[in-house]
Amino acid sequence: MEKLPPYACGSSEHGMSRRRMLGTLGGAIGFGSLLQPTIAEQIRNHGKRVCLIWLDGGVSQYESWHPLPESKFAGPFRSIKTSIPGIHFSELMPHTAKIAHKISVIRSMETKDPNHSSGVPRVQRGDPLDRGVDYPYLGSAIAKLAGPANPELPPYVWIKPGNGGFIHREAGFLGSKYGALALGDGKPPVHIHRPDSISAEIDDARNVLRQKVNERFKAYRHASEIDAYETSFDLARQLMARKDIFDDTKLSAKDQDRYGSHPLGRHILRARQLLEAGVRFVKVNSYHWDTHGDNFNMSQRLVPQVDQPFAALINDLEDRGMLDHTLVIVMSEFGRTPIINSRLGRDHWPDCWSIGLAGCGIKHGAVIGKTTKDGAFVDGEGYDIGHLFHTIFTLLDINPRKTNYRHKGQKLAIANDECEPIKEVMM
Amino acid sequence: MRAYITICILQCACLGWSAEHLHQSIDRLIKTKAGGPIAGKSNDPEFFRRVQLDLAGQIPTSKEVRDFIQNKNPNKRAKLIDQLLANDTFAEHWTDRLSVMLLERQNLGKINDEDWRSFLIKQLKEEPRWDVMAYEMITADGKGDTRAAMRFLGNANHERMTKDIARLFLGMDLQCAKCHDHPSVDEWKQAHFWGLFAYLNQTKSATHSKNKLPYFVENLATKKVEFQSVFEAEKKSTGPYLPGGKEIDIPTFEKGQEYEKPAADGLPAVPKFRPRELMARELTSNNNRYFTRNAVNRLWYLMMGRGLSHPLDEVHAQNPPSHPQLMKLLMKEFAAHKFDVKWFIREIALSESYQRSSKLPQDAKQPDPALYITAHPKALTPEQLLRAILKATGNTKRVEALKADPNAEKFDRRGYFTGSHRELPSSYEEIKAVFMETFAQPAGQEEVEFLPGLNKALFLMNDRLLLSWLHPQGENLVARVNKLKDPKSISEELYFNVLGRPPVKEEIHIVSEYLEKQNSRRTEALGELVWSLLTSIEFRINH
Does the ipTM surpass 0.85?
Answer: yes
Nearest residue of B to residue A129 by CA position?
B230
CA distance B297 to B315: 9
Residue A235 lies in a domain: yes
Classify A362 as helix, strand or coil.
strand
Select the residue from A206, A222, A243 to test the B interface by mutation, using most B Cβ atoms within 10 A.
A206
Q: Which of A200, A274, A203 is nearest to A242 (CA)?
A: A274
Q: How many domains does chain A have?
A: 2
Q: Are A358 and A425 in contact (CB under 8 A)?
A: no
Domain of A290, in residue numbers: 44-190+250-425
Residue A38 lies in a domain: no
Quote the DSSP letter at residue B373: S
What's the pLDDT at A176? 80
Please tell me whether residues A9 and A58 are part of one structural domain: no
CA distance A409 to chain B (A): 6
Select the residue from B182, B441, B451, B517 to test the A interface by mutation, using most A Cβ atoms within 10 A.
B451
pLDDT tens profile B465-491:
999 999 999 999 999 999 999 999 999
* Nearest Cβ partner for B360 among A7, A207, A222: A222
Residue A39 lies in a domain: no
CA distance B256 to B251: 14
* Nearest Cβ partner for B467 among A28, A195, A225: A195
Please tell me whether residues A255 and A369 are part of one structural domain: yes
Q: Positive or negative, the Cα torsion across B532, B535, B537, B538?
A: positive
CA distance A115 to A290: 11
Please tell me whether residues A65 and A166 are part of one structural domain: yes
CA distance A116 to B519: 61
> Is 80 exceeded by the pLDDT of residue A13?
no
Please tell me whether residues A185 and A201 are part of one structural domain: no
The secondary element (H helix, E strand) that includes residue A411 is strand A410-413
Mean pLDDT of B293-313: 97
CA distance A146 to A126: 17
What's the pLDDT at B135? 97
Nearest residue of A to residue B438 by CA position?
A166
The pLDDT confidence band at residue A41, using thresholds 50, 70 and 90, is very low
pLDDT tens profile A165-208:
888 889 999 988 888 999 988 888 899 999 999 999 999 999 99
Q: Are A398 and A43 in contact (CB under 8 A)?
A: yes
User: Which residues of chain A are within 8 Å of residue B177 when distances are taken between CB atoms?
Assistant: none
Mean pLDDT of A391-412: 92
**What percent of chain A lies above the pLDDT cut of 90?**
71
Neighbours of B363 (CB within 10 A): 7
CA distance A151 to A161: 26
CA distance B286 to A171: 40
Q: Which residues of A174-198 are buried (b: 16+ CB within 10 A; e: fewer)?
A: bbbbbbbbbbbbbbbbbbbbbeeeb
Nearest residue of A to residue B177 by CA position?
A132
What's the pLDDT at B363? 73
> Is 90 exceeded by the pLDDT of residue B176?
no
How much helix, strand and coil, in percent to the nearest 5, is found in chain B?
55, 5, 40
CA distance A109 to chain B (A): 28
- Whether B369 and A12 lie within 8 Å, measured CB to CB: yes
CA distance A77 to A85: 20
Q: Are A104 and A426 in contact (CB under 8 A)?
A: no
Classify B442 as helix, strand or coil.
coil
Please tell me whether residues A185 and A223 are part of one structural domain: no
Residue A293 lies in a domain: yes
Which residues lie across from B322 on neighbouring strands?
none
Please tell me whether residues A235 and A293 are part of one structural domain: no
One-letter amino acid at A398 equals I
CA distance B99 to chain A (A): 21
Classify B210 as helix, strand or coil.
coil
Please tell me whether residues A115 and A82 are part of one structural domain: yes
CA distance B379 to B537: 9
Classify B510 as helix, strand or coil.
helix
Please tell me whether residues A264 and A125 are part of one structural domain: yes
pLDDT tens profile A199-248:
999 999 999 999 999 999 988 887 777 888 988 899 899 889 988 888 77
* Nearest Cβ partner for A210 among B368, B450, B535: B535
Mean pLDDT of chain B: 93
One-letter amino acid at B313 equals D
Residue A402 lies in a domain: yes
Please tell me whether residues A104 and A170 are part of one structural domain: yes
Neighbours of B67 (CB within 10 A): 13
Question: Of A241, A273, A307, which residue constitutes the final position of a domain?
Answer: A241
Whether this prediction's pTM lies above 0.80 is answered by: yes
Mean pLDDT of A340-346: 95
Please tell me whether residues A6 and A76 are part of one structural domain: no
pLDDT tens profile A257-305:
999 999 999 999 999 999 999 999 999 999 999 999 999 999 999 999 9
Chain A with chain B: Cβ pairs closer than 8 A: 213
Residue A159 lies in a domain: yes
CA distance A237 to A223: 22
**What is the CATH number for A407?**
3.40.720.10
Question: Of A219, A241, A263, which residue constitutes the final position of a domain?
Answer: A241
Q: Are A142 and A51 in contact (CB under 8 A)?
A: no
C-alpha angle B370/B374/B377, rounded to 5°? 80
DSSP A139-181: HHHHHHHH--SSTTS-SEEEEESS--EEE-GGGGGG-GGGSEE
Residue A134 lies in a domain: yes
Please tell me whether residues A324 and A384 are part of one structural domain: yes
Please tell me whether residues A270 and A405 are part of one structural domain: yes
User: Which residues of chain A are within 8 Å of residue B415 when distances are taken between CB atoms?
Assistant: 163
Question: Of A182, A212, A241, which residue constitutes the final position of a domain?
Answer: A241
> Is 90 exceeded by the pLDDT of residue A39?
no
Neighbours of B74 (CB within 10 A): 7
User: Which residues of chain B are within 8 Å of residue A220 when distances are taken between CB atoms?
Assistant: 359-360
* Nearest Cβ partner for A210 among B368, B458, B536: B536
Residue of B476 and A252 predicted with greater confidence:
B476
- Whether B453 and A177 lie within 8 Å, measured CB to CB: yes
CA distance A193 to chain B (A): 7
Residue A340 lies in a domain: yes
- Whether B178 and A132 lie within 8 Å, measured CB to CB: yes
